[in-house]
Structure 1
């Protein structure tokens, strides 16, 4: 299942198209191909070593092809489970289970893998991250399974039991569209962006976020973060509207005596996509401070009509948005219960540590300065050692640097690397290996370097 990430052509294709889509099929794909890796293990296969048989149990989640190896070692049944389980019924970085931006497919697969593993006797559990569990292995498996199901349910309806109140929109003639896809190119339309929405768009190389346009966008106007603006005779009130993503806004006005809210993709009618455009850590989703905050805005505004993304128009219903408030608390609890650290946002946000900018352009023979950024919202200090990992032959001026991050501060470390003169044109991947508080975390982030002609 995961062999495509070891094959040269398929791995190159993965990195070449990385920013064009949504959630990546692998959050920790290798930087370079590993042609010596065989993909001959899976369900109903065993590994024989000397006089020992090693059983294989599929435990997908962090990747679709993740496996647990079970062996009788010294009269102890030992399971090498990767990141399927962490001590205390937790999971290392649960955003890896989000195979797409809205369904619970990955989490449900992880739950079923642990359901199968729980049928095996396990005396010792050896995860990739966390301590070896010599006591309570089966209890940890059981607790993780229960918490995974709560996470799966949080991926369900955000307003369970609410009633659809679609607003009937008259049909237009055949072939006529209310939205002209070429308006921007042919109709002289201008781009006005809310500052939160503008952040990942004005420089598409800055952030590792999904669904970026091919090119950066230079807005004709940046709207106020919170306030009013006028367009075509209408007065709009605008404000941040986080939820499905941090980079989101909503604005409202009066049209033909109706109070209309344009609210993007956070919330949908109950029968459309579980009442939401979905959530995932890679898209910067937040719950109480995201969906909940925005749902409260709608309750305070009490609009007549809500116009959402994907052509959705429906009547405001207080009951639906009160249910969303309740769901936001439940979803945040489900995510928090799975996270290893005391700061769930640190575990659930893949951008807590990373290269910023995410993408660089350079010429062969050139020195390039890259920046490693750490955002820390927790109360405990983090002592970090960062070591860049670069393609063979690339020169580093600083092979490692250290820093201490406290409270809500953001810290950066700069590194200088030289690209060899004979480097061919193409896309290359640079890693960042991190040691935190004396423990090796491995490569926690990558940056893309496009070498030009």
Structure 2
């Protein structure tokens, strides 16, 4: 079975919703307005072909109107534009169409990622733009009037198009909603708000999106065509339900958020909400735990040796040097790394080179530190770090008078390892950035903090109950804290409720599909090749659902590049409830399809973005993920 055949089989029947107005199903709905054999398209999925258009009487595509820049919506535009179709794009997103290469060549869009926008779905190459569209514009095409509405939310510049045809008004509304009272996902709403940047902005664009939904509800359309989902009528819009669902989710999230500690006024409107958890007790540090600098702490042995925890800034090495001069420590014998974020690892290479300090970390963190090119994640640093020792969950060892234990602790990121230190009559838990007196550090969708029993923050709660530390330390905080049993129970209750709220708000059968931006991902994300080389890319799948699911994969390659159909895997079964990681030591490893690709010997030095067409459980999702290949 070829991957192309799989994608065609995933399509549903095309639909006519008004005189001369059609909807072609695909990864997204493509609107087609037909007049005398000519067509105007609204968005252009890569499943839109001349053959499908001919079946509804189209001989020529004259114009394409884009609701947003994301390639799932517009990957099919290139051949039509090359044949003369005029492309209209949202006013504030023009550069992402015309100068796509500038985005992909911008170092800041690859490393130290604290911004979530524009995100990973930028077009893979530039395309000629004929005009832009924004609020109040009116487009006339062959007797059809199309009114433009600014409807930002999932992207900052998204627009909707209100088409009047045959006495009916049809609104192509992009991703404002996907069904009455529902949105397609939540990770697309990651955006800074209230003075915080995108990194802390889970649900940050929800207010913008609700304003867009209110505008649509009042726009006079008889029928709404979302990018994802079936068309529905004005009477079915369910604005009140959408507002109610977002309000409930926001209250749930703010009730147990670490952001209440870092940014006390961020959720000012909810400060007196009875759902908000009372902060945990804070504690002064024991004398053998001392802040070094920045986000780094040290465990100090009676012997004079120091065990460093994280090393994300040059000021840490300067402080350690002063300590040695002042005879406060005799040596830094090792550094435990809690997680891969740049503010915890940026000075590790200097630590290794200058102090010959061995690096110890968990099996979840080590691969990213050793091979950062293979990953694209928030706050990732580009410099590889040699790891002296990799630990497994529950592994313990002695260091001077202390007993140490490695714990997988997926509370701020899936790739986090806490360190339990027992000594001098107490248990002290270094958790990286996973938790604050006010609750949970789950404010970044890209960090992959899963919902569900035994996963994400609920897994952390299980560990806290089991090890019962007297001190919990988040290294961005000056004091330790300790949750009561009642607070642990309350946070778990809210997390259970959150699963239901997200499932109500989105169309997925498991809430994590709506929040986990990386449930499909390419590995390695980035690699260098020589002209003529054959290389492999794995497309990895996390199945958050309760049943085994089938996935299909097809690479989209430049001219003269090929993939090996015999050697590659295009269809695979993904077991239920996988762990989010491909590794031999996890109980439920993710599944992957390995695609073997060959570059032509004539390939010139360039950065090549290779998207993959993804089909999941029979639904085509479009060019949903990509890998990055540099030809050298």
Q: What TM-score results when the alignment is normalised by the length of structure 1?
A: 0.86
Deviations 1:206-236 (A, max 9, x none): 3332222213333111123113222343212
Which range moves more in the overlay, 395-404 or 420-429?
395-404
Q: CA deviation at 1:90?
A: 2.3
1:269 corresponds to: 437
1:81 and 1:126 in contact (8 A); partners too: yes
Q: CA deviation at 1:88?
A: 4.5
Alignment RMSD, CA only? 3.0
- Whether 2:97 is the aligned partner of 1:6: answer yes
2:135 and 2:150 in contact (8 A); partners too: yes
Over 3 Å counting, the alpha-carbon distance change for 1:337 and 1:218 in structure 2 is farther
1:47 and 1:54 in contact (8 A); partners too: yes
For 1:130 and 1:167, the matched residues in 2 are separated by 51
SS at match of 1:370: strand
Q: What TM-score results when the alignment is normalised by the length of structure 2?
A: 0.63
Deviations 1:229-255 (A, max 9, x none): 223432123322112211112222245
Which of 183, 191, 209 is equivalent to 1:110? Answer: 209
Over 3 Å counting, the alpha-carbon distance change for 1:248 and 1:55 in structure 2 is same
Over 3 Å counting, the alpha-carbon distance change for 1:353 and 1:254 in structure 2 is closer
- Whether 2:444 is the aligned partner of 1:280: answer yes
2:535 and 2:597 in contact (8 A); partners too: yes
- Whether 2:410 is the aligned partner of 1:242: answer yes
- Whether 2:203 is the aligned partner of 1:203: answer no
1:222 corresponds to: 390
Over 3 Å counting, the alpha-carbon distance change for 1:164 and 1:385 in structure 2 is closer
- Whether 2:243 is the aligned partner of 1:145: answer yes
Q: CA deviation at 1:447?
A: 0.4
Q: CA deviation at 1:376?
A: 2.9
For 2:389 and 2:517, the matched residues in 1 are separated by 30
For 2:606 and 2:112, the matched residues in 1 are separated by 17
Alignment of 1:32-47 (within 5 A): 32-36=125-129, 38=131, 40-47=132-139
For 1:205 and 1:304, the matched residues in 2 are separated by 38
Which of 608, 617, 621 is equivalent to 1:428? Answer: 608
1:370 corresponds to: 537
For 2:599 and 2:364, the matched residues in 1 are separated by 34
1:186 corresponds to: 354
- Whether 2:573 is the aligned partner of 1:405: answer yes
Over 3 Å counting, the alpha-carbon distance change for 1:110 and 1:231 in structure 2 is farther
1:204 and 1:215 in contact (8 A); partners too: yes
1:43 and 1:57 in contact (8 A); partners too: yes
- Whether 2:562 is the aligned partner of 1:395: answer yes
For 2:627 and 2:593, the matched residues in 1 are separated by 14
SS at match of 2:528: strand
Which of 511, 517, 528 is equivalent to 1:361? Answer: 528
2:282 and 2:482 in contact (8 A); partners too: no
2:121 corresponds to: 28
For 2:603 and 2:108, the matched residues in 1 are separated by 17
2:256 and 2:277 in contact (8 A); partners too: no
Q: CA deviation at 1:124?
A: 1.1
2:612 and 2:624 in contact (8 A); partners too: yes
Q: CA deviation at 1:450?
A: 1.5
Over 3 Å counting, the alpha-carbon distance change for 1:354 and 1:3 in structure 2 is same
For 1:436 and 1:299, the matched residues in 2 are separated by 37
Q: CA deviation at 1:305?
A: 2.4
- Whether 2:543 is the aligned partner of 1:451: answer no
For 1:417 and 1:300, the matched residues in 2 are separated by 47
For 2:235 and 2:478, the matched residues in 1 are separated by 49
Deviations 1:248-272 (A, max 9, x none): 12222245544322122121133xx
Q: CA deviation at 1:426?
A: 3.4
SS at match of 1:335: helix
For 2:170 and 2:447, the matched residues in 1 are separated by 37
Deviations 1:385-441 (A, max 9, x none): 432112334233439964242543754333332223343323210010134455432
Over 3 Å counting, the alpha-carbon distance change for 1:2 and 1:166 in structure 2 is farther
Deviations 1:114-163 (A, max 9, x none): 13222333321111122222475312x44333323333334424162413
1:173 corresponds to: none
Q: CA deviation at 1:36?
A: 2.2
2:218 corresponds to: 119
Q: CA deviation at 1:382?
A: 4.2
Which range moves more in the overlay, 259-268 or 126-135?
126-135
Which structure 1 segments of 5+ residues have no match? 171-175
2:606 and 2:631 in contact (8 A); partners too: yes
Which of 147, 153, 158 is equivalent to 1:55? Answer: 147
For 1:434 and 1:144, the matched residues in 2 are separated by 29
1:305 corresponds to: 471
Q: In terms of Rg, which structure is larger?
A: 2
1:265 and 1:276 in contact (8 A); partners too: no
Which range moves more in the overlay, 380-389 or 245-254?
380-389
For 1:102 and 1:353, the matched residues in 2 are separated by 22
Alignment of 1:319-334 (within 5 A): 319-334=486-501
Q: CA deviation at 1:76?
A: 2.5
Which structure 2 segments of 5+ residues have no match? 1-91, 192-197, 258-275, 287-291, 297-314, 321-350, 579-589
1:85 corresponds to: 177
